[in-house]
């Protein structure tokens, strides 16, 4: 059977390509058909945490317009572009795709704003802050794939390769003037990284590709989404972007990918030319001024922050009152419809999906934070509605 699997060195000719893995947290025998990074891709896309990205914010809260991106769309764009660059550079395409798909798996509901709201919750709970000083999606992403993400009825934790885990935790953090990335060669104890600055650059060229493409993939697509949503008009887009990068997101992506390939070919680093790098950062600045701080993107920030705060406090009280559901089980909905569905889902999360994951010494606050961080935008809104909005009783 093993003859069906081709050697990675045969597939990926670049001397700097990631071949094989340093290992997994739990050792596993090789697969007869797939490379280690192909296995990671399949573990990622079959996980519940990955599937929930289709209902998590990219820029605009739970869009009803099917042509406006969600977090799921973004990771697919990144994975596709990263695979293209890796192929042209002779690097490991399977590996680049796996990082691209998983790089945002740690995102909370409501995008980067939700990230800030969870950080404010952490600040108010010393027991939680001791474990998780900051909430940043790249650091939390490692926690998700190591301890929380699960494939349907299997145990939590995807047991990914060290290299993909490194790509997740290291996929962002540089300032917006960076045009060139070199892999970090020093040893990185991933589990001990608690802040973005500690992660540094990825340890592989494939990880560096994803880190640069992440910005490229969202910069142009956010413009397309804003046009679709009526947030900006075509006439507002500076002529230099249309002239030098292209008039559509597809043209923008193509311009950057070609430039990255030309500037990274046969090199031990990944780069875009300084001129295009400057334009990319100017485009991101334009988006910040006209899109990211628009009323459509930030108009409900205050309400959403309060909503997540209320939700955290209520679910924490419920968890404590029911003593983590050790000896309590909610009656079925048919017997008692007054119990919010989110309480039953929390019970399933603690006593079913995550059974055996939390130690008695883990604070209840950590369980509730994990539960809320995994929510989709729509489930968070529905949960608050169930708990706090009165219903007719007669």
Distant-in-sequence, close-in-space partners of 34: CB < 8 Å, separation ≥ 6: 5, 42
For strand 270-271 and strand 180-181, is the pairing parallel, antiparallel, or unpaired?
antiparallel
Domain closes at, from 297, 327, 359:
297
Residue 174 lies in a domain: yes
Residue 317: CB atoms within 10 Å: 12
What tokens does 73 get?
């769309």
pLDDT at 1: 45
Residue 197 lies in a domain: yes
Clarify whether residues 154 and 21 are in a common domain.
yes
Q: What's the total number of domains in the chain?
A: 2
Q: Assign 329 to helix, strand or coil.
A: coil
What does DSSP assign to residue 166? H
Clarify whether residues 273 and 206 are in a common domain.
yes
Ranges of residues in the chain with a pLDDT under 50 are 1
Clarify whether residues 237 and 325 are in a common domain.
no
pLDDT at 176: 60
pLDDT at 185: 86
Clarify whether residues 247 and 337 are in a common domain.
no
Cα gap 214→216, rounded to integer Å:
6
For residue 81, with 0-12 CB atoms within 10 Å meaning exposed, 13-18 middle and 19 or more buried, which class applies? buried
pLDDT at 158: 98
Residue 139 lies in a domain: no
Domain span at residue 335 reads 299-388
pLDDT at 152: 87
pLDDT at 2: 52
Clarify whether residues 245 and 356 are in a common domain.
no
Clarify whether residues 336 and 292 are in a common domain.
no
Clarify whether residues 157 and 175 are in a common domain.
yes
What tokens does 19 get?
């071949």
CATH code, domain with 53 = 1.10.3210.10
Cα gap 179→202, rounded to integer Å:
15
What tokens does 22 get?
């340093």
Cα gap 394→388, rounded to integer Å:
18
Residue 140 lies in a domain: no
Clarify whether residues 46 and 94 are in a common domain.
yes
Residue 179 lies in a domain: yes
Domain closes at, from 297, 332, 362:
297
pLDDT at 307: 96
CA distances from 106 to 31, 58, 236, 248, 259 (A): 27, 13, 33, 29, 30
Residue 28 lies in a domain: yes
Clarify whether residues 269 and 323 are in a common domain.
no
Residue 338 lies in a domain: yes
Residue 326 lies in a domain: yes
Domain closes at, from 246, 278, 297:
297
Clarify whether residues 369 and 256 are in a common domain.
no
């Amino acid at each position: 059977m093993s003859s069906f699997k081709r050697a990675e060195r045969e597939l990926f000719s670049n001397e700097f390509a990631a071949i094989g893995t340093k290992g997994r947290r739990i050792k596993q025998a090789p697969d007869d058909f797939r490379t280690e990074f192909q296995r990671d891709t399949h573990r990622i896309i079959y996980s519940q945490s990955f599937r929930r990205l289709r209902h998590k914010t990219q820029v605009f809260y739970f869009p009803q317009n099917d042509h406006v991106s969600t977090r799921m769309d973004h990771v697919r764009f990144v994975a596709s572009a990263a695979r293209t660059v890796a192929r042209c550079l002779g690097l490991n395409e399977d590996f680049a795709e796996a990082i691209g798909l998983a790089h945002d798996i740690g995102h909370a509901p409501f995008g980067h704003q939700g990230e800030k709201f969870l950080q404010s919750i952490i600040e108010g709970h010393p027991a939680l802050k001791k474990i998780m000083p900051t909430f940043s999606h790249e650091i939390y992403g490692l926690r998700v794939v190591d301890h929380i993400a699960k494939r349907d009825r299997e145990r939590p934790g995807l047991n990914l390769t060290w290299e993909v885990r490194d790509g997740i935790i290291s996929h962002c953090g540089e300032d917006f003037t960076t045009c060139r990335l070199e892999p970090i060669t020093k040893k990185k104890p991933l589990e001990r990284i608690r802040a973005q600055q500690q992660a540094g650059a990825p340890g592989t060229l494939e990880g560096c590709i994803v880190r640069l493409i992440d910005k490229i993939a969202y910069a142009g697509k956010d413009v397309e989404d804003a046009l679709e949503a009526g947030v900006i008009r075509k006439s507002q887009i500076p002529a230099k972007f249309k002239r030098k990068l292209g008039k559509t997101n597809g043209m923008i992506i193509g311009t950057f990918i070609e430039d990255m390939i030309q500037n990274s070919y046969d090199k031990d680093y990944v780069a875009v030319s300084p001129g295009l790098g400057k334009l990319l950062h100017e485009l991101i600045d334009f988006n910040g001024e006209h899109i990211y701080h628009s009323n459509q993107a930030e108009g409900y920030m205050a309400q959403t922050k309060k909503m997540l705060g209320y939700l955290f406090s209520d679910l924490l009280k419920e968890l404590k009152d029911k003593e983590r559901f050790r000896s309590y089980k909610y009656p079925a909905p048919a017997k008692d419809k007054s119990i919010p569905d989110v309480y039953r889902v929390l019970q399933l999360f603690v006593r079913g999906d995550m059974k055996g994951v939390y130690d008695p010494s883990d604070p209840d606050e950590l369980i509730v934070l994990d539960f809320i961080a995994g929510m989709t935008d729509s489930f968070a809104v529905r949960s608050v509605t169930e708990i706090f909005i009165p219903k007719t009783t007669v």
